A and B are shown apart, each in its own frame.
Chain A
Amino acid sequence: MTARRLSSGGHIDRSKPVKFTWDGRTMSGYAGDTLASALMAGNERIIGRSFKYHRPRGIMSAGVEESGALVTIGAGARRDPNVRATSQELYEGLVASGQNARPNVRFDLLEVNNLMSRFFSAGFYYKTFMGIPPFEWGKGTGIWMQYEKLIRRAAGMGEASREPDPDKYEHGHDHCDVLVVGSGPAGMAAALTAAEAGLDVLLVEQDSELGGSYLSDRDAEETRLATLSALTSAGVRIMNRTTAFGLYDYSVAGLLERVTDHMASPSQHTPRQRFWTVRARYTIVAAGAIERHVAFGDNDRPGVMTAHAARTYLNRFGVLPGEKIVAATNNDSTYQTAAELAHAGAAVTLLDARSAVPAALVKHAVDAGVNYRSGMAPLKAIGRKGVYSLDLAVADGDRWAANGSEACDLVLVSGGWSPVVNLMSHRGVRPVWNAENACFVPGEISEPLSLAGSAAGHWKTDDCITSGQASGASAAEALGKSAPGFKQPSVGGWDNPIKPLYEVKVPRRKLKSFVDLQNDVTAADVRLAHQEGFVSVEHLKRYTTLGMSTDQGKMGNIIGMALMADALGKSIPEVGTTTFRPPYTSISIGALSGRSVGSHFRPLRRTPMHDWNLQVGGTMMEAGLWQRPWYFARAGETITEAYIRETETVRKTVGLCDVTSLGKIAIQGPDATEFLNRIYTNPFAKLPIGKARYGIMLRDDGIVMDDGTTWRLSEADYFMTTTTAHAAKVMVWLEELLQTRWRDLKVHVTSVSEQWAGCAVAGPKSREVLEACVSDAKVMASDAFPFMGVIETELKGGIPCRIARISFSGEMAFEAYVPSDYANALMDMLWREAQKSDGCLYGTEALGALRIEKGHVTGAELDGRVTIDDAGLGKMASPKKSFIGSALRNRPELEREDRPRLVGIYPKNRSETFNAGSLLCAAGKVEGLGEGWITAVTHSPELGHWIGLGFLSGGYEAWSGQTVIAADPVRKGNIEVEIVSPHMVDPSGERMHG
C-alpha cells in the first residue's frame, strides 16, 4: 500500500496540524482525522497483530467494525487497550502504540505462531493440552492449569493498566419522545420529521461528526449542512460521540458518551465518559449497515480493506489509500467508489463476481478510467507485510478457477452489506434472511420501535431518506401527533441483484482464508467444527470463537454462517444466526461504575453525632450503610481493653452510647392500638399512655422478623423502635399491611429514624446523669419514672426530648431522643455529667458484650430461621389473640422439642476462648452440622471469662452437666464448652428494675 494525503478535499482542517506519537515515533495528522486516517496518510501499514497467529494486520475498515487496527491509547494509569484506530479521534499529543506483539507490531517474535498455524485450528489448545496422555489419563486437568497461563499470555489483545483509574466517570439520565440512533441520511430525516411534528427528539451519533454516509460522499456536504441546520431549527437535541449500546425493556436505551477521549488536555472537572440511561417513548434505529468482506487466501494482509472504507478515507479524510488498487465486489455499491478512486489518481481495476452487469453501470466506472473485469474474484493476496499482487479467480459455473494475477498495493473487497440489526436483537426481534439482498433484515417488531435506512436494508440514499421520514411519521402517529404520510420503500434498491459470495476457493489449493479476523477464525476452522459435529451456530460460535470479543461478529458472522450452511447443505436462514447481546461496542468498567467509587461506592449514613463521636476519640464501624461508634479507646488501649473497660464502667457507673441507628417509626391514628396488637405477638391493647413495651413481630410463616420497643405517647400516637438491621424492612412491611391487608385501619406509619437522635444512658448512675440534664429534675424521680416508663420533657437549653426507661444492657438504663439537629448539644450535656460520675462512652463492641451477658437477642440470633420459642421468648406469644404469624408458628415442625434453642456457652476450661460461627457438637460426635451453632462471643468482665450465645437442639436444660464441643475446624479446632442458661448475668433482672 502506498497511501498518501491529497492536497485538497475531505472534512479535515489542513490549517490545524496535529502531532501524535505512534509506537514512540512522532507523526502528524490534521484536525478532523481519526488515528487510522492519520496513520494511513503517513503510509503506516502494520498497525496490529492478530489474536492467535500474530499475523501483521493493517487498517481494514473506517468504523466500529474494525478488527485489524486495534491499538493501545495512552500510557501508565491511563492506558486503554483494544481501541479501534478507526474510531479514535486524533488530538494533539495522542500517544498510541501497537499491542499483542513483542517487541513491536512491525517485528513480532510471536509470529512464529503463524508458522505453526496449521496446528492451531479450532479447539487446538484444549485438545492438545487438556488431560495430556498418558500423564493425565483419568486425573483431570492439573497440567493444563499450568500451561493455560502461558497460552493465555501468548494469545489475546492489549493489556489494561493495573493502576487505579485516575479518570472520573458519571451517569446521566434523559427522557425524550423519540430517540433516533444514527445521524446518517435516514436518521437525520427521521429526526427532522418527528421534530417537525412537535416531538422532543434526541439524536445520537457514535461518530464525532454527524452525517453518517453523507461524510463519505464527496457531493453531499451541502445537503448534510442544510439538514443539520434544519435539525437545529426544529429543536432536535443532538449528542455526538455517543453510542447507543443497548436497548432494554420499556423503551430504555443505554448510551455511552465519550466526553473527553478526543481531548488533549481535558478539564479535571469533566468526566471522561458518561453512561446514559435514556427513557424514550419511541425509538428509531438508523444505525446503518456494515460492509462485509469475503473469505479468500490471506485476505487479512495489510492492504486488504473493505471497499467503502476507501471511499471514506478519500472523501472524508483526503487520503488516497493506494496507487494501484484492485477492488473486488459482488454488488453495485463499489462502482462509485472505484470511479472516485480512479478520478483521484489511482489506477483501479474493478473485479465483479457477477458475469452480467448492465452497460450503464459499467460505463460509469470505465469512463472514470477504471479497468473493469466481470466474472472475476480475488483468490489470494500476495505479500506479507503489505500486498503487492492479487491472484485472481474466474467464475466457472458455480465454482471458481485460478486465473492469473494483478499487481496492486491495495485490495478492496465488498461482499455485500449487513444491516446493523444488533439493537433489535437486544429486544428479542429475530432478524429475517432476505435472500434477494443476501442479508438479514429486522423481523416483526411489536414495540414502539422502528428501523430506518440501510439498517432496514435500504441501499439508496434517497430510499434511506424516505425510510427515515416514514419512521419519523410512524413515531409521530404512535405518539398522537400528525405528520405527512410517507411510505416505507421496499427493501433493497440496487439496480442489479447482488451475487452471494462468501468464500473464493479453487480445488487443490490450500488457502488461509479468514472469516473472523479479530479472532483469527478461518474458513477451515468452520469446516473443521462442522466435521467434529458442532452444527448449531451457537456451538460453532463457542467452539471457534467466531463472532466473539470486541467486534461481536460485525464483519465475520454472516460468512461463518454461510460456510456452515454450505457444509450442512442447508440455507442460511435454516442455520440461523446467533443472538446479539448488549453492548454493541465495548464499554469501560469505569463508565459502568460512574461516581459509585471509593467512599461513594455506597452512600454513607452518618448519625447526627458522627463528628462528635470522632472528636471524642471514637473508632467507627460499618453497620449496613450506617457508621456507628465501635469503641472509644483511651491512649494505648487495644480494642479488647477498650470494650472490656467500657462494659465494666456501664455495670459500675454509667455509659453513653449513640443508638441513633435504631429504626424509628411514628404510628399514628385512631386504629394504631389495634394495628400494633395485630403485628406484635404480645398484647398491646392495654399499653397505657406514658409506657413502653418490648415487642416481637413474626413473619406470616411464624418465624421471628424483628424486635424492639414501642412507646405510647398519646391516645393515637406511638413511637416504635426497630433493630438497626431491619429498620427499612419493618417500615416496608407495616406499610404493605396497611395498604393491602388492612385498608380499613386508620393508621399512618412514617419513618422518623432521621428525625430523632438517640443516646442510651446505661448504668447505676444513669438516672443522676439525666437528672442533671433535664430542665425539671423531678421528672426523673424514681416513682415518677418507673421501669418501662416514657416521658416527653425538655433538656436544659429548651431542647425537646423524649426518654424511655428501657434497658438492653441489663442495668438501669434510659434511651433519650432529641430532634437530630440537637444531637451534639445532647451529647455535650450528657458527657459532661457522665464524666462527673466516672462514666464512659461505649460503642457497639461493649454494647454486644453487655447484651450477650444478658442473653438479649439481636440480628445475629434472629437470622430468619428462629421461632419465638427458639429464642426463649415463647411466653411473649399471646395465646389469647390472633397476630401475624400466630397460625403458622404452631406448625408441628416449629414446635418440635429438639429444635435448636437459645443457650449460653462457657468454655469448660475458663481460660480458653472460642469463636462465633463454631458448630456445637455432642462430645465424641464431631461430625456433619452438629447439634447447633454459636452466634456471638465476648469476654465477660462480670464473670471473668469468655462466654457465648448460640443455638443447641433442645435448649440448655437438655445439655446441662454435659460436655459439648465447639468445633471450628478451619480456625481454632475443637474446644470443650459447657451449656448454661442464656441469661448469664443478673438473670432476675434486679438491676434494671432497681
Chain B
Amino acid sequence: MVERLSALAGHYEVGRFGESGDVGVTLTEVRDLTLHQVAAWPETLKPVGNKAARAIGARAAPGPCQALEREKGALLRIEPLKWWLFGVEAPALKPKEGATLDLSHSRTHVRVSGPQAKAFLNRLLPFDLREEAFPVGSVGSTALHHVGLTLWRSEVGYELFMPRGFALSLWETLVETAAQFGAEVA
C-alpha cells in the first residue's frame, strides 16, 4: 500500500522555536487520520448513535457539542444529526438508518497542548474556551483566519480538524502565533 502524504509534508519542522524558557505551546500533527461521518435521520438518531458508540466500545453516543473518548477512538457530535467517528472504521448502515462517509483525507489533524494552549488558541479563535464553557470532552465549530474548523478538547489537548486545502496556510499562522509563548513542534 502506498503511504499517505500529509498536507504539511515538507513543511513540518520538528523542534523547539520562538521564545526560550518553558514550552508554553506544543503543536503536533496527528498523521494518518481515520475519520468517518455517521449521519442519522431524526427517527433513527438513537439507534444509529448507539451503533456509532459501539464502534469505540461505548454504550451510548454523546449529546450535542460533546465527545466521548475511549481507548479505540472517539465519537464527536458535530451536528444535530451527525457524529464523527475518530480512529475507527464506521459501522455499516442501511440507507433507511442513515449514511456513513469517509472523511479521513478531508481534514488535517493538529493537536495543541501545553500550559498556554488556551491563551494561544484565543489569539486566533473567537471561541469561549474558559474551563466552564469548554471543558474536556467538548466539541465546537469555530473559525481560524476565516476558515471553518472543528475543535475537540480531548484528554491530551485541543484537537483541531482543519480543512486539508487550507491546512498549510493555517499551520503557518499557528506556528507564527505560537512563537511568543515558547513553542515546540512535536
Contacts and interface: CB of A to CB of B under 8 A. Distances in A.
Interface of A: 168, 170-175, 200, 267, 269-271, 274, 277, 279, 595-596, 599-600, 602-608, 611, 625-626, 660, 666, 668-670, 715-717, 746, 748, 750-756, 797-799, 819-825
Contacts of B117: none
Interface string B145-177: 111000000000000000111101110110011
Interface string B17-51: 01100000000000000000101010000000000
Contact of B172 (A596, A600, A715): A600
A663 B55 CA distance: 31
Contact of B5 (A277, A596, A823): A823
B145 A600 contact: yes
B125 A821 contact: no
B2 A611 contact: no
Contact of A170 (B81, B123, B127, B169): B123
Given A748-B99, A755-B102, A822-B5, A270 B180 contact: yes
A167 to B, nearest CB: 13
A822 B2 contact: yes
Interface residues of B, number: 51
Contact of B2 (A271, A750, A798, A820): A798
Interface stretch (B56-64, B66-74, B104-112): B104-112
A840 B98 CA distance: 43
Contact of A608 (B164, B173, B179): B164
Interface of B: 1-2, 4-7, 9-10, 18-19, 37, 39, 41, 81-82, 95-96, 98-99, 101-107, 122-128, 130, 133, 145-147, 163-166, 168-170, 172-173, 176-177, 179-180
Contacts of A819: 4, 102, 104-105
Contact of B99 (A625, A716, A825): A716
Contacts of A825: 2, 5
Given A605-B169, A715-B95, A755 B105 contact: yes
Nearest to B10: A611
Contacts of B128: 175, 279
A271 B18 CA distance: 12
B103 A603 contact: no
A797 B177 contact: no
A600 B103 contact: no
Q: 5 tightest CB-CB pairs across the interface, nearest first?
A: A821-B4, A668-B99, A716-B95, A755-B106, A819-B105
Contacts of A270: 19, 180
Contact of B125 (A173, A600, A752, A823): A173
B99 A669 contact: yes
B19 A267 contact: yes
A942 to B, nearest CB: 34
Contacts of A750: 37, 39, 101, 103
A717 B102 CA distance: 13
Nearest to B130: A175
B73 to A, nearest CB: 19
Nearest to B134: A175
Given A605-B165, A611-B10, 10 more contacts: A175-B133, A599-B172, A603-B146, A606-B169, A668-B95, A750-B103, A752-B101, A755-B104, A797-B2, A819-B105
Given A669-B95, A716-B95, A752-B106, A821 B5 contact: yes
Contacts of A754: 105-107, 163-165
B37 A626 contact: no
23 contacts: A173-B122, A173-B123, A173-B125, A200-B130, A270-B180, A277-B126, A595-B176, A600-B169, A603-B145, A603-B169, A603-B173, A604-B169, A605-B165, A605-B169, A611-B10, A715-B95, A716-B95, A716-B99, A748-B82, A756-B105, A820-B105, A821-B4, A822-B4
Contacts of B4: 819, 821-822
Nearest to A271: B180
Contacts of B164: 608, 754-755, 820
Contact of B103 (A173, A668, A752, A798): A752
Nearest to A267: B19
Nearest to B127: A173
Contacts of A798: 1-2
Contacts of B126: 173, 277
B106 A799 contact: no
B171 to A, nearest CB: 11
B49 to A, nearest CB: 15
B63 to A, nearest CB: 19
Given A267-B180, A608-B164, A820 B95 contact: no
B145 A596 contact: yes
B82 A595 contact: no
Interface residues of B: mostly helix, strand, loop or mixed? loop
B106 A748 contact: no
A668 B40 CA distance: 11
Contacts of A625: 166
Nearest to A746: B41
A605 B125 CA distance: 19
Contacts of B177: 170, 595
Contacts of B165: 605-608, 626, 660, 753-754
A799 B180 contact: no
Nearest to B32: A821
Best-buried of B19, B81, B146, B165 by chain A (most CB within 10 Å): B165
Contacts of A611: 9-10
Contacts of A824: 5
Contact of B166 (A173, A279, A603, A821): A603
B155 to A, nearest CB: 23
B134 to A, nearest CB: 10
Nearest to A796: B2
Contacts of A716: 95, 99
Given A716-B95, A797-B1, A602 B146 contact: yes
Nearest to A605: B165
Q: Which of B9, B39, B147, B170 has the most CB of A within 10 A?
A: B39
Nearest to B126: A173
A248 to B, nearest CB: 13
Nearest to A824: B5
B102 to A, nearest CB: 7
A600 B145 CA distance: 9
B99 to A, nearest CB: 4
A600 B176 CA distance: 11
A200 B131 CA distance: 11
A310 to B, nearest CB: 40
B99 A269 contact: no
Contacts of B9: 611
Contacts of B107: 754
Contacts of A820: 7, 105-106, 164
A603 B106 contact: no
Contacts of B102: 755, 819
Nearest to B108: A754
Contacts of B172: 599-600
A168 B98 CA distance: 49
Contacts of A607: 165
A172 B123 contact: yes
B128 to A, nearest CB: 4
Given A171-B123, A175-B128, A666 B105 contact: no
B163 A595 contact: no
A55 B174 CA distance: 50
Contacts of A599: 172
B170 A603 contact: yes
Nearest to B162: A754
Nearest to A795: B2
A150 B2 CA distance: 69
A648 B2 CA distance: 33
A269 B24 CA distance: 13
Contacts of B6: 821
A761 B98 CA distance: 34
Listed residue (B95, B102, B124, B168) with the most chain A CB atoms within 10 angstroms of its CB = B95
Contacts of B1: 797-799
B127 A755 contact: no
